[in-house]
């Protein structure tokens, strides 16, 4: 990362951390975006360069997330003219998910995740926001699989592939952040992908 990118990443982390602490201390209604910006030392306008809402700041869901180049690489890896699904479809989806993970969170912090989970417990309406993002991500990835594999819109094989991978990633994230696991996320995900492959192929 260059100097500008590092500075922006630091500002994003500072904003999210400050938002989580304020939400834990006073609840979502207990502070304003303006107060958050004053604490971090940025303008309200700058805030929206990083997060779409106060809720997204608390959850750490960045408005700057741009994975178009990763999506294009994934889409280019298939053969849309083939009558069969690519044999490496699930593996390619896994790579895409891990690359996005590393882009979003190059230094995973279990304490940060515990804070986010604590805020969600305290503010259940945040869970709705999480589900909205998950639904949006799922629709985007289903469309990507359809494009990569040359499938018609609505083909259940595309949604099944994405939903299987989402289940693997959720379980892996839970293991990575909430247990005494000492492995990196790639290893944790790899174990579950191997188990998934054994179940699917016998």
- For the stretch 33-51, pLDDT in tens is 999 999 999 999 999 999 9
Say which range, 100-104, 133-137, 173-177, has the weakest mean pLDDT. Answer: 100-104
Q: Clarify whether residues 114 and 157 are in a common domain.
A: yes
Question: Domain of 80?
Answer: 66-202
Q: Which two tokens stand for residue 130?
A: 């999480």
Whether 36 and 75 map to the same domain: the answer is no
Backbone angles phi, psi at 16, to 5 degrees: -65, -40
Q: How confident is the model at residue 169 (pLDDT cuts 50, 70, 90)?
A: very high
pLDDT at 1 > cutoff 90 = no
58/97 same-domain check: no
| CA gap 101, 184 in Å, rounded | 12
Same domain? For 89 and 167 the reply is yes
Residues 124 and 185 placed together within one structural domain of the fold:
yes
Lowest-pLDDT range of 24-33, 104-113, 171-180: 104-113
* Same domain flag for 119 and 145: yes
Alpha helical stretches, state H, the chain: 3-26, 33-40, 44-50, 54-59, 68-75, 89-104, 110-122, 125-149, 156-178, 185-201
Distance CA 153, CA 150 (A): 9
pTM: 0.84
pLDDT (tens digit per residue) in 125-158? 999 999 999 999 999 999 999 999 999 999 999 9
Alpha helix ranges (H) inside 41-124:
44-50, 54-59, 68-75, 89-104, 110-122
Q: How many CA atoms lie within 13 A of 118 on its CB side?
A: 15
**Where does residue 136 rank: exposed (0-12), middle (13-18), buried (19+ CB within 10 A)?**
exposed
């Amino acid at each position: 990362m260059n100097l500008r990118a590092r500075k922006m990443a630091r500002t994003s982390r500072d904003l999210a951390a400050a938002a989580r602490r304020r939400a834990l201390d006073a609840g979502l209604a207990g502070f304003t975006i303006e107060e958050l910006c004053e604490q971090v030392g940025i303008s309200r306008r700058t805030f929206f360069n990083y997060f779409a809402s106060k809720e997204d700041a608390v959850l750490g869901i960045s408005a700057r997330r741009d994975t178009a180049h990763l999506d294009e690489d994934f889409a280019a890896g298939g053969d849309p003219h083939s009558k069969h699904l690519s044999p490496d479809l699930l593996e390619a989806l896994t790579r895409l998910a891990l690359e996005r993970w590393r882009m979003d969170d190059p230094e995973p912090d279990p304490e940060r995740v515990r804070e986010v989970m604590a805020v969600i417990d305290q503010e259940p309406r945040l869970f709705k926001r999480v589900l909205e993002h998950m639904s949006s991500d799922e629709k985007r990835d289903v469309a990507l699989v359809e494009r990569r594999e040359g499938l018609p819109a609505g083909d259940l094989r595309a949604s099944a592939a994405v939903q299987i991978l989402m289940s693997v990633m959720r379980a892996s994230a839970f293991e990575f952040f909430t247990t005494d696991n000492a492995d990196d996320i790639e290893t944790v995900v790899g174990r579950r992908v191997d188990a998934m492959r054994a179940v699917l192929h016998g």
